[in-house]
Chain A
Amino acid sequence: MDVLKQLLGRLHPLFVHLPIGFIILGLLIKWYDRKKNAHTDLLPLIFLWAGYSAVLACITGYAQYIGEGYAFETVKIHLWVGIATAVFSFIMYAKLKELKAVAFLSKVSITVLSVVSFILISFTGHEGGTITHGEDYLIEPLPNSVKSALGFETYEEKDIVLTDENWQEAQLYEDVIKPILNNKCISCHNPKKSKGGLLLHSEEAILKGGENGPVITANKASESELFTRMKLPKEDDNHMPPEGKSQPSKEEITLIGAWIDAGHPFDKSIGELNLKKNLFLPFIPKKAANNYPDIEITAASADSIKAIEKTGVHVDLISKSSNFLTVSCINKPAFTNADFDALLPIKSQIAVLDLGGTKITDAIVEKLPMLTNLTVLKLDNTQITGENIEKLDGLAHLKSLNVTYTNFAKEHLTKLANFKKLEKVYVYNTPINATDSTFLKGSDIHIDYGNYQLPQIAADTIVY
């Protein structure tokens, strides 16, 4: 008998959908048929089926309540509204059949009854969902803004924001630990849904711990479950957060450990605690060191890129995440100043230009300023001498200039001092050498003179 009870009970989720389907179908047909009245025979039948299946759903539902050991308090509303729905389905049947038994309803319009019927089935369904999926099962996936607008308490997903300048002033708990807990733990450990009896939304709750006692052992991360559970391998049953939930990074877990080791203070700054910077480095955003300007730009037309590639010049997006292009003449050593004009349709997208090993001459500097976003320029292995190189000082983004293996003259190097963004210049194998270091004194530009030597040493020839 127990077996039957349990089996019946487990069929409840299956049977409940029959009355839902019938009732909705009946209501739809009733609405669809409101003018023609062509289905008056069919409609009562549908509600009769709805009634029978609702009774079946009630029986299986009761079996499940008994068999799975739910508290009556939990299922109370669902149970009564479910029965009401079943009864009401029969009433709808009777009304549509115009049976005498429901003569007392003759004054109530069928529309009102339909609305009641719809409300009943929806409410029963929702109550059932609440029992299986939890009270906030519809609210939970909503974005925080909608949740708070609806009046629900939210735990904001907040990023850890540290900078090179202020990382020491940041509050360890408020600015670092709390965001980690909020983003990765609190969805299961909050006053509404305290898994394992543990709450992690406030100082008191964290100190109180869960059903197995405190989760923090002062100054000992290795003995604090808050830390050790996260540290367990993901496959371990005790690993937190459980598989499938969003996981904290290695660095975040390390920080939780460091916080506990530091005595889990709630009101101390990182500086006061004297913690090492490299703990926080992953959370200090790095300035992007890309080979293109930090601006948005429209994409170059595919047709003009194709046309340029036909001439043998190599054009490619630097990455799919930006519209800037890298252009190289690696497959076209015959490239001349005149060929440059072909690049004009993509002039604002070119960020990296490699003209190394081509037939260009000094006159190219007349044209290069048109590439307003040029960041990396290679003119190595060409005939340029640096004549008129000052014309490039308008290139506001130029970071790197390579003139190795050219006749770039000493006197032109000083002109580079006015280049605002220029960081690196490569002058290996030019008439310039390291002893000419008076150039660009006081500027931040790094000149790589190259010509590195590895003199012979005794160890080079000793064979053991």
Chain B
Amino acid sequence: MDNLETLIQEYLQREAQAKTRRHFIKNCASGLGGLALSSIFMGCDPLSTQKKKAKITFSERDLNPLATLAPPLSPKVKSVIYLHMAGAPSQLEMFDYKPVLQKLHGKDCPQSLLEGRKFAFIKGTPKLLGPQAEFKQEGESGNWVSNFLPHFKKVVDEVAFVKAVHTDQFNHGPAQLFMHTGSARLGRPSIGAWATYGLGSENQNLPGFVVLTSGGNTPDAGKSVWGSGFLPSVYQGVQCRSKGDPVLYIEDPDGISRNLKKSTIDAINKINKEEYAKYADPEILARINQYEMAYRMQIAVPEVMNINNEPENIKQMYGVEPGKESFANNCLLARKLVEDGVRFVQLFDWGWDTHGNIREGSIDLGLRNKCREIDRPITALILDLKQRGLLDETLIVWGGEFGRTPMQENRGNKKMAYLGRDHHGDAFTMWMAGGGIKKGASHGQTDEIGFSGVEGQVSVHDIHATILHLLGFNHEEFTFDFQGRPFRLTDVEGEIIKDILA
């Protein structure tokens, strides 16, 4: 009851504030100036003989910010599942086979590669570290896959590798931001925010951009990697959990029935509608809509986030562990979400930072465990989407924020406890699969030891341009006006990687 009284009091106070002369003069001095100015400008309008009464009209978008919009160009995919291995997986143990590096194992790294370079931890002259995995050419495409990924090799012909991606960041936070927002500094919208802003989302009961994390930690860059930046906040990613409530506080509190909740929301919306009639602020309409969406989500989200109802063979295929937070659960959820019309699903799996300082972070042991954790789920995800006819209209992107050095890390110029590799942004591997992607393609090459790209080098902006292209956007024309200029996800760069497009 106390709460209700506070609410009423607050309401009365707001009303009073909106009415008193003192408040008006105190807070609106500049507003008055503006008002006066606008009337002067109107007075200067030579073409209008009488002042038109401003008519407020709203597009469907104002009322429902997630209403779908058609992309400007013909899209190849409807949805995106982005699998990010936070911490940066080693391309040299997974996809980028370097037999020469094997031969040079244990030799000093040539000075020419070290001069003028700064690494996160490597000091002095490190030794070269040969690949710790065995490689084989797999599938009809003959692309290389290591024995760390025994399941993935079965779907190698579905994916297109990009083997010489480069970034200019060598620390996790900025590199992750760069990979997801196109800028290493805070404040830009993430790819998923851009996609939902540009396309909306089909299912009116679910958010358009869902984020799932695993590996026991969220990405180093924090929630900004799925933030909305300067776009309206409704486009930011909604983080769901595969353990406990899928969205925090989604369950009604004890003693509150669904009916009571409905009446509460109806009452709030009634007030909001009156408020809107008075002030005609479109934000109020958006708010009304958000309340209603939240109400619908209370039913729809727990339903879609429940993997227990999936058939046993599907659960086994993904290797899910219901009730736990796991990458496998998240992969299955990603399929369910895309199936239900969610536009962008972002998975982060933490724990790929293999420096060799601890057992979990070793290139031969820890990395192999991480590979096992993703190998079956990713393969299952591709096959499951395929058999449902969804792979044609979904894009899967896999990658980390950078790659790892061909040299063994020697933190503090000492031999480390385990084998490890330092951060390295010059060349690393990513892959894409799904609609519009050339199956079995491989674009770009690194030098003999995998230090830098020698052919088909691709920047992070190029990756973004390609993702936007597949969603039906020209990345150079997809902009949002902010602080006096149009902003793009790809800033002033980016070229579509045509070689991996079907």
Task: Report A-chain residues with C-beta under 8 Å of the C-beta of B364.
Answer: 464
Select B472's contact among A251, A319, A452, A454, beta carbons within 8 Å: A319
Is residue A295 contacting chain B, with contact meaning CB distance below 8 A? no
* A173, chain B: closest CB distance, angstroms: 24
User: Would you give the 0/1 interface string for A427-462, flagging 1 where the beta carbon is closer than 8 Å to chain B?
Assistant: 010000000000000000000111111100101101
Is residue A289 contacting chain B, with contact meaning CB distance below 8 A? yes
Residue pair B202, A448 in contact (C-beta under 8 Å): no
Task: Report B-chain residues with C-beta under 8 Å of the C-beta of A428.
Answer: 387-388
Nearest residue (CB) in A for B339 is A356
Is residue B108 contacting chain A, with contact meaning CB distance below 8 A? no
User: Would you give the 0/1 interface string for B370-399, flagging 1 where the beta carbon is closer than 8 Å to chain A?
Assistant: 001001100110011011110010000000
Residues of chain A in range 236-287 having any CB-CB distance to chain B below 8 Å: 250-251, 278, 281-282, 286
Nearest residue (CB) in A for B202 is A330
Task: Report A-chain residues with C-beta under 8 Å of the C-beta of B73.
Answer: 319-321
Is residue B366 contacting chain A, with contact meaning CB distance below 8 A? yes
A-B contact pairs, 6 of them (CB 8 A): A282-B498, A400-B392, A452-B386, A454-B151, A457-B150, A464-B369
Is residue A62 contacting chain B, with contact meaning CB distance below 8 A? no
Task: Report B-chain residues with C-beta under 8 Å of the C-beta of A231.
Answer: none
Residue pair B75, A404 in contact (C-beta under 8 Å): no
User: Would you give the 0/1 interface string for A375-406, flagging 1 where the beta carbon is closer than 8 Å to chain B?
Assistant: 00010100000000000000000001010100
The 3 closest A-B pairs by CB, nearest first: A450-B387, A317-B70, A426-B389
Nearest residue (CB) in A for B369 is A464
Is residue B319 contacting chain A, with contact meaning CB distance below 8 A? yes
Is residue B234 contacting chain A, with contact meaning CB distance below 8 A? no
Task: Report A-chain residues with C-beta under 8 Å of the C-beta of B365.
Answer: 464
A-to-B contact residues, CB < 8 Å = 250-251, 278, 281-282, 286, 288-292, 314, 316-322, 328, 330-331, 378, 380, 400, 402, 404, 424, 426, 428, 448-454, 457, 459-460, 462-464
Is residue B368 contacting chain A, with contact meaning CB distance below 8 A? yes
Nearest residue (CB) in A for B391 is A448
Residue pair A448, B151 in contact (C-beta under 8 Å): no
Task: Report A-chain residues with C-beta under 8 Å of the C-beta of B368.
Answer: 464
Residue pair B389, A400 in contact (C-beta under 8 Å): yes
* B8, chain A: closest CB distance, angstroms: 37
Task: Report A-chain residues with C-beta under 8 Å of the C-beta of B499.
Answer: 278, 281
Is residue B502 contacting chain A, with contact meaning CB distance below 8 A? yes
Once A and B bind, how many residue pairs between them come within 8 Å at the CB atom?
A: 102
Q: A430 CA to B366 CA in the complex, in Å?
A: 42
Residue pair A321, B202 in contact (C-beta under 8 Å): no
Nearest residue (CB) in B for A448 is B387
Q: A313 CA to B230 CA in the complex, in Å?
A: 32
Q: A380 CA to B184 CA in the complex, in Å?
A: 43
Task: Report A-chain residues with C-beta under 8 Å of the C-beta of B205.
Answer: 331
* B57, chain A: closest CB distance, angstroms: 15
Residue pair A452, B383 in contact (C-beta under 8 Å): yes
* A112, chain B: closest CB distance, angstroms: 41
Is residue B34 contacting chain A, with contact meaning CB distance below 8 A? no
Q: A464 CA to B418 CA in the complex, in Å?
A: 13
Contact A452-B68, Cβ < 8 Å, known A282-B498, A314-B202, A330-B340 = no
Residue pair A404, B70 in contact (C-beta under 8 Å): no
Select A426's contact among B70, B71, B372, B387, beta carbons within 8 Å: B387
Residue pair A460, B74 in contact (C-beta under 8 Å): no
Residue pair A454, B202 in contact (C-beta under 8 Å): no
Q: A400 CA to B368 CA in the complex, in Å?
A: 40
User: Would you give the 0/1 interface string for B473-500, flagging 1 where the beta carbon is closer than 8 Å to chain A?
Assistant: 0000000000000000000000100110
Select A464's contact among B319, B366, B375, B498, beta carbons within 8 Å: B366
* B37, chain A: closest CB distance, angstroms: 35
Residue pair A380, B317 in contact (C-beta under 8 Å): no
Residue pair A318, B75 in contact (C-beta under 8 Å): yes
Is residue B218 contacting chain A, with contact meaning CB distance below 8 A? no
Q: A428 CA to B391 CA in the complex, in Å?
A: 14
Select A331's contact among B69, B203, B317, beta carbons within 8 Å: B203
Nearest residue (CB) in A for B366 is A464
Is residue B204 contacting chain A, with contact meaning CB distance below 8 A? yes
Task: Report B-chain residues with C-beta under 8 Å of the C-beta of A330.
Answer: 202-203, 340-341
Is residue B31 contacting chain A, with contact meaning CB distance below 8 A? no
Q: A314 CA to B202 CA in the complex, in Å?
A: 8
Contact A452-B317, Cβ < 8 Å, known A316-B70, A459-B150 = yes
Is residue B72 contacting chain A, with contact meaning CB distance below 8 A? yes
Select A454's contact among B69, B317, B341, B369, beta carbons within 8 Å: B317
Q: A288 CA to B495 CA in the complex, in Å?
A: 20
Q: A314 CA to B74 CA in the complex, in Å?
A: 18
Q: A457 CA to B316 CA in the complex, in Å?
A: 12
Residue pair B369, A426 in contact (C-beta under 8 Å): no
Nearest residue (CB) in A for B76 is A289
Residue pair A320, B72 in contact (C-beta under 8 Å): yes
Q: A347 CA to B72 CA in the complex, in Å?
A: 22
Q: A452 CA to B205 CA in the complex, in Å?
A: 31
Residue pair B388, A426 in contact (C-beta under 8 Å): yes
User: Would you give the 0/1 interface string for B42-77, flagging 1 where the beta carbon is closer than 8 Å to chain A?
Assistant: 000000000000000000000000001111111110
* A176, chain B: closest CB distance, angstroms: 17
Task: Report B-chain residues with C-beta under 8 Å of the C-beta of A449.
Answer: 387
Q: A74 CA to B472 CA in the complex, in Å?
A: 54
Residue pair A459, B341 in contact (C-beta under 8 Å): no
Q: A452 CA to B158 CA in the complex, in Å?
A: 14
Q: A322 CA to B388 CA in the complex, in Å?
A: 27
User: Would you give the 0/1 interface string for B195-213, flagging 1 where the beta carbon is closer than 8 Å to chain A?
Assistant: 0000000111100000000
Task: Report B-chain residues with C-beta under 8 Å of the C-beta of A319.
Answer: 70-75, 472
Task: Report A-chain residues with C-beta under 8 Å of the C-beta of B386.
Answer: 448, 450, 452
Residue pair A404, B203 in contact (C-beta under 8 Å): no
Q: A155 CA to B83 CA in the complex, in Å?
A: 49
Residue pair A328, B389 in contact (C-beta under 8 Å): no
Q: A330 CA to B78 CA in the complex, in Å?
A: 14
Q: A322 CA to B368 CA in the complex, in Å?
A: 48
Nearest residue (CB) in B for A425 is B389
Residue pair A454, B387 in contact (C-beta under 8 Å): no
Task: Report A-chain residues with C-beta under 8 Å of the C-beta of B387.
Answer: 404, 426, 428, 448-452
Residue pair A328, B202 in contact (C-beta under 8 Å): yes
Task: Report B-chain residues with C-beta under 8 Å of the C-beta of A316.
Answer: 68-70
